């Protein structure tokens, strides 16, 4: 049985999937760039839940059903994690955008070491994620893929990938990237 898939143009909804190592800037990016427009969904919100993936998919579906855009703030390192997010988004007629945080293992380990309490991830966890981490592509089912880097001024530079215009320089593009 095929689900009733509506066009994202009809719903106007978006699911932003943040993809990167722990301590790569994903949550800070969410707060600075997406918090005003997207509901925050993260498995970290339910550390003791038995079926965190099922709960996450249910919360995403509920938010989309209520007319909200959603940002999924997990490491989402590979298709096994982002595939179900794409399916859920498409079933609700939402556009799916990947925000790729290219790995800088040294910097992530340093930022992670400065975290305290539950926010600090064991180093082995960061290294395990680095082993699995793969850059998302349009061919994975995303409607757009953006690369996010620190801008050196406390903010971020976002560049759309898989777009012929991204090869040039100019507004929204950084020459050294």
What digits encode the pLDDT tens for the residues 25-83? 999 999 999 999 999 999 888 777 788 889 999 999 999 999 999 999 999 999 999 99
Cα–Cα–Cα angle for 71, 73, 76, rounded to 5 degrees: 110
Q: How far from each other are the two terminal CA atoms of the chain, in whole angstroms?
A: 45
pLDDT value at residue 128: 95
Look-up: residue for tokens 């975290």?
A: 115
Angle at 142 between CA 89 and CA 53, to 5 degrees: 45
Does the predicted TM-score (pTM) go above 0.75?
Answer: yes
Q: What is the CA radius of gyration of the chain?
A: 16
Dihedral class, residue 152 (left if φ above 0, else alpha if ψ from -120 to 50, else beta):
left
> Residue 113, SS3?
helix
Q: Which residues contact 39 (CB under 8 A, 6 or more apart)?
A: 63, 68, 69, 70, 71
**pLDDT tens profile 116-154:** 988 889 899 899 999 999 999 999 999 999 999 999 999
Cβ atoms of residues 92 and 64 within 8 Å: yes
- Predicted confidence at residue 50, as pLDDT, reads 82
């Amino acid at each position: 049985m095929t689900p009733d898939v509506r066009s994202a143009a009809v719903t106007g909804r978006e699911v932003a999937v943040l993809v990167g190592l722990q301590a790569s800037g994903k949550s800070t990016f969410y707060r600075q760039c997406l918090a005003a427009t997207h509901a925050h969904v993260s498995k970290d919100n339910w550390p003791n839940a038995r079926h965190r993936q099922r709960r996450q998919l249910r919360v995403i579906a509920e938010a989309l059903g209520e007319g909200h855009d959603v940002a999924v703030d997990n490491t989402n390192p590979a298709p096994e994690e982002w595939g179900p997010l794409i399916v859920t988004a498409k079933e609700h007629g939402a556009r799916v955008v990947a925000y790729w945080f290219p790995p800088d293992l040294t910097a992530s380990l340093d930022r992670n070491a400065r975290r305290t309490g539950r926010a600090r991830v064991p180093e082995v966890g960061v290294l395990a994620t680095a082993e699995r981490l793969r850059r998302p592509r349009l061919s994975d089912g995303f409607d757009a893929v953006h690369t996010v880097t620190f801008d050196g001024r406390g903010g971020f530079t976002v560049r759309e990938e898989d777009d012929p215009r991204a090869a040039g320089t100019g507004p929204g593009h950084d020459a050294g990237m």
